Structure 1
Amino acid sequence: MFAHVDINNCYVSCETLFNPALRGRVVVVLSNNDGCVIARSNEAKAAGIRMGDAEFIVRKRLKELNAVIFSSNYAFYADMSARMMNNLARYTYLLMVYSIDEAFLAMGNLPVDLEAHVAMISRNVMRDTGLSITVGVGPTMALAKLANKAAKKLKRNYLVLDTTAKVNEVVKDFLIEDVWGIGKQYYEMLREMGVTTAEDFRQLKPDLVRQRMTVQGWRLQQELWGKPCNVIKDVADRSKGIESSQSFNSYQTDLEQLEEAAAMHAATIAFKLRQQNSMALLLTVYLRTNKHNISHDQHYPVITVKVPFASNSTQNLTRICVQALRAIYQPGYNYLKTGVRATGIIPAGEVQYNLFSNYDNSRRQALSHLMDEINARYGRGALRVAAEGYKKSWKMKQEFLSKRYTTDWRDIVVAR
């Protein structure tokens, strides 16, 4: 048995937790540069505010609703997510963090009553973190995810599908577009085939599913029949790499400003690598102009650089990324975005050194870990490499940023 847990209206829930006056009000959280709606309170959903709505389009409507608007406060949300994940780990022997607000838990072989155990998880997470969650349990990861969505539709905190009868009852009317792994392209194809529910999909011939939807579609169909094809991993999936990127608040043409942004992304990736005790062998640096502005010349340069020795040192990765950015930068273009992606990720203990090189990374490693300790104590970014700059005029637009209640001492809640 597997459990799928997610935070209800994650970003809005985090904001409401430290500002209870927001309860019952229309609340939305905006994406990078305050571009579009990425999180909504239930009241905002009821008022017709849709996910992905551009801020300038719904601005008037939000004003009419007396809505409260927030810019994305990612450091705050990530900290609250970590608190929930640490809490969930108490109730399983294997947990996989799937996204900032989602996790899968292994529930098999637990000598407990599943219904009571799941009810306790829901109750205790709310008690210990203040975050409302929904829990779905099923014999496969796909059915656990389906149970979670079904619970939300039924306005329940949890749903356990522990018998074939319960699975069949939920699957028969579950819309195919809401099934985990069914994207827009597959949805359009299945609709043309007359498939509208998860039960319709289960009834398709497996060979046809494999032919039209590859092995991933076949695995999904098997999982909907209760046959596990996916497993929970207790380590990060290193095959996908780690990426850090963001759009600027205005067009950037100055090389120095772009270097600062690339250095910041390199430092972020180095920190994430150290968190999972990994190192990277390859770094990809890219620049983007605005593809939607056809009046500007377009330029999408990208370069991949091999790291001489696998590293997670902030100093090493920053230096490499800044040099790579200089190699692809061309003056005269209005750049809107830059990013860094690390691939070829290996465990820190598996670095292959060169027999003919006297490579000693211990000093840089010690310095990076010291930076982590200082930033953990005084707030992220308190200590950083000079290449990241100081004023950062290129930083993304965040006009509605809330306080950093759990990540900055200056914003900690004070009881009077």
Structure 2
Amino acid sequence: MNPISSDIYALIDCNNFYASCERLFAPRLLNRPIVVLSNNDGCIVARSNEAKALGLGMGVPFFKHRNVIESNNVAVFSSNYPLYADMSKRVMQTLELFSPQIEIYSIDEAFLKLNGTPENLNLFGHKIKETVYKWTGIPVSIGIAKTKTLAKLANKLAKKLNHFNHVFDFSSLTNPDHYLKKFPVGDLWGVGSRYQKLLISKGIHTAYDLKYADPYLIKKYMTIQGKRMVLELNNTSCFELEEAPPTKKGIICSRSFAKAIIKQEKIKQALAGYVARATEKLRKQKSVTAYVSIFLRTSPFKGGFYSNSNGLKLNAPTNYTPRLIQVALYLLEAIFRKGLYYQKAGVMFSDISPMNQKQQSLFNYPQNHSKQDKLMQTIDKINKTWGNTSLRFGAEGVDKRWKMAQENLSPRYTTSWKELPLID
């Protein structure tokens, strides 16, 4: 017999986050349908409720919905990552006031552990929701339960069922099976399309069916994660908060170009920029890399397709951007072919280890490492304060016409002094 959890988890999810960020600084968009597009303005990656009501699908290429979008006065935005990241940070900082135990699950989701909360949990959830909206302008939905799996489930119901007003305390239900019987198994956290098909083939169609399935049989189908899911549906907590994000084993930065590039110099500038972004992530998690690889390719939809990659093991791991740019550009020389129109390039770091375990090179003095670390810390600090391209490396170039298309980009209202919102 597994013990019923005494923990209480809340899953806070920002509603239509990208669209909500755009609407926040443009009140004229209230009640107007909004869509946000992916890199190079390719596919729809976020929709307001009004856009969903028009049948605009998630992940669908923009051009396929162009007629519907134009005929219904839908507001279209390119992804404004600096704005979304900053608003996410503000939401998460607000949530930290309600619990010292927080797991930032994604840019628009976080788990809180609410153990010891003296108040009525439903009222407390509404207090969180109202505070986040008052302080940041971002609407959220909240699911509360004794396990993370049930908190995710409760959050989906809080969004779907209007009478909950976006807060659902699943932990207080006397008959939770009433909701589990109506909840499709494929909508459960951790059940992808492959497991959904497998479970349905075994007669498991709902969360209720999975709750009362044999956990050891489910383990056979879905590994230990499946068994834990069954236990979590029965109020036995198996997934703890990850309060510190796990260190990434690999870091990749790549983009498709707005227009195909034929000049090697432009490819070099793009790669240098990708290295700069990737090393920033590397330093943020206090890591170094010992292996650098790059790739580039032409369009797979045009004749003469070419794709290649190249990599190098470093003699000493590092997170020093100039050194890693130097390596990436060296690797490019061996795989670049003249006369081709390249559509995409990227860089990847692997063999990642903590900075405090960094192996010193025989030919590099400790004082050099100290100077390099201080220089990178200064650059990171300035870019964090003034925007991530305030200081750039010369190899990144100045002409950025090759960058990904962002024809409908809104201002960086909260991270650029030049783009502050204006009030008439």
Band the TM-score falls in, shorter-chain normalisation: over 0.9
1:44-63 correspondence runs (5 A): 44-63=51-70
Indicate whether 1:238 and 2:247 are aligned: yes
1:253–1:36 CA distance, 2 compared to 1 (3 A): same
Aligned to 1:342: 349
What's the secondary structure of 2:60's corresponding residue?
Answer: coil
Aligned to 1:133: 140
Count of aligned pairs: 414
What's the secondary structure of 1:38's corresponding residue?
Answer: strand
Structure 2, unmatched stretches of 5+, are 1-7
Q: Which deviates more, 185-194 or 97-106?
A: 185-194
1:178-257 correspondence runs (5 A): 178-257=187-266
What's the secondary structure of 1:327's corresponding residue?
Answer: helix
How far, CA to CA, are the matches of 1:102 and 1:354 in structure 2? 41
Question: How much does 1:340 deviate?
Answer: 2.1
How far, CA to CA, are the matches of 2:90 and 2:404 in structure 1? 27
1:277–1:86 CA distance, 2 compared to 1 (3 A): farther
Question: How much does 1:354 deviate?
Answer: 4.8
Runs of 4 or more off by more than 4 Å in structure 1?
354-357
How far, CA to CA, are the matches of 2:310 and 2:227 in structure 1? 36
User: Which amino acid letter does the alignment assign opposite residue 190 of structure 2?
Assistant: G
What's the secondary structure of 2:377's corresponding residue?
Answer: helix
- Note if contact 1:34-1:398 (Cα within 8 Å) is conserved in structure 2: yes
What's the secondary structure of 2:171's corresponding residue?
Answer: coil
- Note if contact 2:257-2:404 (Cα within 8 Å) is conserved in structure 1: yes
Q: TM-score, normalised by structure 2?
A: 0.91
Match of 1:411 among 406, 411, 419: 419
Match of 1:400 among 379, 403, 408: 408
What's the secondary structure of 2:344's corresponding residue?
Answer: strand
Match of 1:274 among 269, 278, 283: 283
Q: Which deviates more, 145-154 or 164-173?
A: 164-173
Question: How well do the aligned residues superpose, as a CA RMSD in angstroms?
Answer: 2.1
Match of 1:175 among 184, 188, 212: 184
How far, CA to CA, are the matches of 2:351 and 2:123 in structure 1? 43
CA offsets 1:105-137 (integer angstroms, 9 cap, x no match): 222244444223222111111111110011112
Aligned to 1:18: 25
Indicate whether 1:71 and 2:93 are aligned: no
Question: How much does 1:65 deviate?
Answer: 0.3
Indicate whether 1:150 and 2:157 are aligned: yes
Q: Which deviates more, 321-330 or 243-252?
A: 321-330
Aligned to 2:3: none
Q: TM-score, normalised by structure 1?
A: 0.93
Indicate whether 1:361 and 2:369 are aligned: yes
1:84–1:252 CA distance, 2 compared to 1 (3 A): same
Q: Which deviates more, 349-358 or 48-57?
A: 349-358
How far, CA to CA, are the matches of 1:118 and 1:310 in structure 2? 46
Question: How much does 1:19 deviate?
Answer: 0.3
Question: How much does 1:190 deviate?
Answer: 2.2
Question: How much does 1:405 deviate?
Answer: 0.5
CA offsets 1:302-334 (integer angstroms, 9 cap, x no match): 334334333322223222222233333334544
Percentage identity across aligned positions? 38
CA offsets 1:174-214 (integer angstroms, 9 cap, x no match): 11121111112222222222322111122333233222222
Question: How much does 1:377 deviate?
Answer: 3.8
Question: How much does 1:348 deviate?
Answer: 2.8
User: Which amino acid letter does the alignment assign opposite residue 35 of structure 1?
Assistant: G
Indicate whether 1:27 and 2:47 are aligned: no
1:327–1:20 CA distance, 2 compared to 1 (3 A): same
1:325–1:99 CA distance, 2 compared to 1 (3 A): farther
Aligned to 2:108: 101
How far, CA to CA, are the matches of 1:316 and 1:166 in structure 2? 61
Question: How much does 1:240 deviate?
Answer: 4.2
How far, CA to CA, are the matches of 2:249 and 2:237 in structure 1? 23
CA offsets 1:265-310 (integer angstroms, 9 cap, x no match): 111112222333333333332223333x1x4233332334334333
CA offsets 1:344-366 (integer angstroms, 9 cap, x no match): 33333232335675343122222
1:319–1:165 CA distance, 2 compared to 1 (3 A): farther
User: Which amino acid letter does the alignment assign opposite residue 289 of structure 2?
Assistant: A
